[in-house]
Amino acid sequence: MSFALPDLPFAANALEPHMSAKTFELHHGKHHAGYVAKLNEFTANTPYAQLSLEALIEATHGRADAQAVFNNAAQHWNHSFFWQSLSPTVQDVPEPLAIRLEAAFGDVDAFRARFVEAGMSQFGSGWVWLVDGQEGFSIVTTSNAETPLTSGQRSLLVCDIWEHAYYVDYQNRRADYLRVFIEHLVDWENVSRRLSV
């Protein structure tokens, strides 16, 4: 079995002006494709090649001798999840989900503000997530390739806060990128689907 780069679920220019075709050309076509190519290179002719992506991430997490495999596997999973978190059209938050967000954060706008703050608080490269766990909804950040998949939390939504995700369109303005993401680009229908699975 080998790992494959998924197609974007929309045209590369579909999120303009918020996220440009140039960004997708690099982010999906070079960065994500690079992680997949390295993952296939590192797992070829090893028992890892027999595992699902999720099982591979669990099997290599926290293991010094498998750090490179973990990094590329988790980056493949995180990026695949990120593309599925984006929508070309602005979506309203569906009611059942809005009720859960209100319970956890006060209201949907407060959730949005907290999500942006969390993304700003992450030093260096990483990811900001909405997750569902034993305590209900929470916002978490992960560094580099780390993913909530290994902590037993259900991922609902992610924003990539590596500089490669926003530098072409926003240069160093991470806060502007995060605000545009959370206000204009979230695929709330996909978030809802993840919650009900």
Counting residues that bind Mn ion (by CB under 5 A) gives: 3
CB-CB contact of 60 with 73 (8 Å): yes
- In Å, what is the CA distance from 29 to each residue of 7, 120, 131, 148? 10, 26, 27, 25
Q: How far is it, in rounded angstroms, from Cα 160 to Cα 158?
A: 7
Residue nearest to Mn ion (CB): 160
CB of 91 to Mn ion, least distance (A): 22
**CA count, 13 A, side-chain hemisphere, 27:** 25
Residue among 137 and 162 whose Cβ is closer to Mn ion: 162
Q: Is residue 177 a contact point for Mn ion (CB under 5 A)?
A: no
Binding mask 108-137 for Mn ion (x = CB under 5 A): ------------------------------
CB of 147 to Mn ion, least distance (A): 12
Binding mask 134-173 for Mn ion (x = CB under 5 A): --------------------------x-x--x--------
CB of 161 to Mn ion, least distance (A): 9
Q: How far is it, in rounded angstroms, from Cα 56 to Cα 74?
A: 9
> Can you say whether residue 69 is alpha, beta or left, with left for phi > 0 and alpha for psi between -120 and 50 degrees?
alpha
Residue numbers of the site for Mn ion (CB under 5 A)?
Answer: 160, 162, 165
